[in-house]
């Protein structure tokens, strides 16, 4: 599925409380990774980020944190931030809100972060209200790499995002097996290009109670 790189305005309006871009007049980018931590892929991402002195945000699936606690701890130890991506990678549109809430809470026991990104970007308004009432900040994205798209070449995956970079952009990658090949290639190209353009890479932070 060839989804647009830049999220259309009408989609952003569906979730007006979501964080779609970081306010910044400076050249700062916010790299994010969904679906990990993965035993072998996430460490490769961390190695690459470290070589560019880059910080990022990892939206973790609770069950993957359970499976790979050492990798999760490394993410934190190296100064990155983490967010909740549910425990079982649930599609909110296809999940009863009570079950969704329980799954988020189960993941929160391990992840302990107020940042939340819904798997597939799909979440019901009732679930969004529950998230906000429980202190979570909904974090969406500015630029979609589509690194998971098997029909997208590595070069195209990198170019489609690099061409759209702007200060404050939240870039969505995936540190999972389906995206590995495209993601690692595109991430390196983006880090190289953006660094040469004077960008810095920062992690997303948010404290419960802030608006």
The residues annotated as belonging to the active site are 34, 174
Beta strand pairing call for 56-60 and 170-174: unpaired
Q: Which residues pair with 32 in a beta bridge?
A: 57, 172
State the residue for tokens 């952009």. 169
Q: State residue 176 phi and psi, 5-degree precision.
A: -130, 170
DSSP of 141-178, one letter per residue? -SEE--TT-TTS-HHHHHHHHHTT--TTBEEEEE-STT
- Asked if residues 52 and 194 have their Cβ atoms less than 8 Å apart, the reply is no
What lies within 8 Å, CB to CB, of 44 at 6+ separation is: 184
């Amino acid at each position: 599925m060839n989804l647009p790189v830049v999220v259309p305005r009408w989609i952003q309006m569906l979730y007006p409380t979501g964080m779609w871009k970081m306010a910044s007049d400076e050249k700062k980018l916010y790299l994010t990774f969904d679906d990990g931590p993965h035993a072998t892929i996430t460490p490769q991402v961390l190695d690459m980020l470290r070589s560019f002195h880059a910080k990022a945000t990892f939206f973790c699936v609770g069950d993957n944190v359970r499976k790979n606690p050492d990798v999760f701890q490394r993410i934190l130890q190296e100064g990155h931030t983490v967010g909740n991506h549910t425990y079982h990678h649930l599609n909110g549109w296809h999940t009863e809100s009570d079950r969704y809430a329980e799954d988020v809470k189960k993941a929160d026991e391990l992840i302990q972060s107020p940042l939340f990104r819904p798997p597939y970007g799909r979440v019901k308004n009732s679930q969004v209200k529950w998230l906000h009432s429980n202190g979570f900040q909904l974090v969406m994205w500015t630029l979609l790499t589509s690194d998971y798209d098997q029909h997208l070449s590595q070069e195209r995956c990198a170019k489609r995002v690099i061409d759209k970079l702007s200060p404050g952009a939240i870039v969505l990658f995936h540190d999972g097996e389906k995206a590995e090949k495209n993601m690692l290639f595109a991430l390196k190209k983006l880090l190289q290009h953006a660094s040469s353009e004077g960008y810095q890479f920062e992690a997303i932070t948010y404290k419960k109670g802030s608006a």
